[in-house]
Amino acid sequence: MTVRLRFQLVLVLAMAVPLSGCLFRTRKPTVLMSTAQLQKATFQELVDKINRDAAQIQTLNATVDIAASTGGSKKGNITDFQEIKGYILVRKPGLLRMIGLFPIVRNRAFDMVSDGDTFKLWVPAKNKFIVGSNDVIKPSSTQPLENLRPQHILDALLLRAIDPENEIAVLEQNNETVVDPRTHKDVLQPDYIIDVIRKSGQSWYLSRKIFFNRTDLQPHRQIVYDKNGYVATDATYEGFKDYTGVQFSTVIHIFRPQEEYAVTLTMEKLTMNQPLADDQFALVQPPGSQLVQLESATANGGTRNGPQH
């Protein structure tokens, strides 16, 4: 058979494929589209909602359940810690205090404050008073929760307004996988995403993504990126309730993939915009406690030890 005849035979077979039902089959996609009633919003309406909600919250006082876990694919296992009670105080622009209580006895497991730039952490069980920057300069690979910073909690807890001088927002439309309430199976559902691009010196970087669920047009997820494009924080929001005219999530999951730890905050009691005094954010080193300065550990290869008064 000549090359020309072979080519003609291949061409005839190729043309015959669409005409023959035995040469193909039809199947359903593994994930179907959601049939939920979806709401619509414009780009500007979504941006206005972010900015309006951010402006409405100036202080926050919450009694919470705190659940934490560490580990993941890098560590090879996941450790879940017992849920504890706690309190969170927030006063804008950057003050946060978070207190955790041991179960049953209700003694303090930790007490942590931040002014937006630096933080202080008192751990009574270890008699350590830790001071450092809100930035994790030297992450701990053996104790992931030592990488916890108040700023991580604050960034996830309150969505920041979009800064018109240093940030640009754009709209992205995509599909997310959700569980259908009727069939309890995974389905694809359209959502809105506000991408926030932030200026850093002479360049720009993707700062965060805010995902709006189109069944209620609430921000159900926020991904915060570092300047190198890696995911710093992945936070999800559930159970929105009305607090004096402000819709706020009652369950917030915070995951830090680089340090491999997760914290879940469940609101038991929450009040907003009540006055909070300066002394409510004051944390003084207890006499006889060990002072640990994290910057000193980085610079000098060790911590500053010994009782401090």
For residue 22, the 8-state DSSP code is G
User: To the nearest whole number, what is the mean pLDDT of the chain?
Assistant: 85
Residue 260: the pLDDT is 86
**20 within domain boundaries:** no
Q: Could you report the per-residue pLDDT of 127-147, keeping only the tens digit for each?
A: 999 888 877 656 555 555 566
- CATH number for the domain spanning 266: value is 2.50.20.10
Residue 95: the pLDDT is 94
Q: Any residues with CB less than 8 A from the CB of 93 and at least 6 apart, and which?
A: 116
Please count the structural domains in the chain: 1
Q: Could you report the per-residue pLDDT of 145-188, keeping only the tens digit for each?
A: 566 778 888 989 999 999 999 999 999 999 988 888 888 888 89
For residue 301, the 8-state DSSP code is S
**9 within domain boundaries:** no
In this predicted structure, the answer to whether residue 73 has a pLDDT above a threshold of 90 is no
**Mean pLDDT confidence for 24-36:** 80
For residue 254, name the pLDDT band (cuts at 50, 70, 90).
Answer: very high
For residue 84, name the pLDDT band (cuts at 50, 70, 90).
Answer: very high
**81 within domain boundaries:** yes
Q: Which of 65, 92, 111 is nearest to 276 (CA)?
A: 92
Cross-strand pairs, 265: 66, 252
| Enclosing domain of residue 170 | 45-308
Q: Which residue has the higher pLDDT, 303 or 288?
A: 288
Q: Which of 2-11, 30-39, 51-60, 272-281 has the lowest mean pLDDT?
A: 2-11
66 burial type by CB count under 10 A (0-12 exposed, 13-18 middle, 19+ buried): buried
- Strand pairing category for 32-33 and 186-200: parallel
**Mean pLDDT confidence for 195-220:** 95
**23 within domain boundaries:** no
**108 within domain boundaries:** yes
**40 within domain boundaries:** no
Cα 266 from chain centroid (whole Å):
14
**185 within domain boundaries:** yes
- The 3-state DSSP class for residue 274 equals coil
Q: Could you report the per-residue pLDDT of 220-233, keeping only the tens digit for each?
A: 999 999 999 999 99
**78 within domain boundaries:** yes
